[in-house]
Amino acid sequence: MRIKCILIALLCTLSTAIFAQCEIQSRVYPDGSLLYSMAPVKFYWTEAKELYGGVVTDKEHFFLSLQPIPFPEKPAGIKLKDNLLLTLSNQQKIELTHYDTRYMQNDSIMEMLFLLDKKDLEAAYTYEASSVKMNMGEEEGYREYHFKLHKTAFQDQLACFLEDKSEKIKE
């Protein structure tokens, strides 16, 4: 009987964690655009650097949102317009187009949005993210993050937004 209670408690905990990961939030931006997202997930952490991110969508396009720490101050950060190189677990490299850089919460967070091309959606859904390479400006140059934490978060969040992957991905 005790084992059954433990198993039920474990299943409840796991199911709560699975469903919590699909808590979709929406936000209307000053320009009138409505974007849907989930809470940022920590992909990388050391004493010197961190990287948070996740999937953002307008229901038509999918974006990879990244929040690097540390980040350049506002004048230099707004100038960051280079594309992002995403490497998947199958060693496929996908170039994501820079879409926007914005500062939030009194400039304490810098968020960069990169557009995921529809032709790359199936690969991003199928394989884990291994690393990203991004230009952090003239002073620092390129910074590469090898995902050490939550490697499947990008896939999991895409799955939340794609109700029927076989129909949505093939578009």
| Residue 94 falls inside a structural domain | yes
| Residue 10 falls inside a structural domain | no
pLDDT of residue 14: 38
* Count of other CB atoms within 10 angstroms of residue 68: 24
pLDDT of residue 96: 97
| Residue 7 falls inside a structural domain | no
pLDDT of residue 31: 81
| Residue 42 falls inside a structural domain | yes
pTM score above 0.85: no
pLDDT of residue 77: 87
pLDDT of residue 139: 84
| Residue 9 falls inside a structural domain | no
pLDDT of residue 12: 40
Tokens linked to 40? 């940022």
pLDDT of residue 21: 61
Instruction: Tell me which residue range forms the domain holding 91.
Output: 24-169
Number of compact structural domains in the chain = 1
* Count of other CB atoms within 10 angstroms of residue 165: 15
| Residue 86 falls inside a structural domain | yes
| Residue 13 falls inside a structural domain | no
| Cα distance between residue 115 and residue 39, in whole Å | 18
Cα dist from 25 to 34, 51, 63, 75, 169, whole Å: 10, 20, 15, 29, 22
Q: Residue 162 sits in a domain of what CATH number?
A: 2.60.40
pLDDT of residue 3: 52
- Per-residue pLDDT 10s for the chain (171 aa) are 555 434 344 344 333 344 446 899 998 877 888 999 999 999 999 999 999 999 999 999 999 999 999 999 888 888 999 999 999 999 999 999 999 999 988 889 999 999 999 999 999 999 999 999 999 988 888 999 998 888 889 899 999 998 644 444 444
| Residue 84 falls inside a structural domain | yes
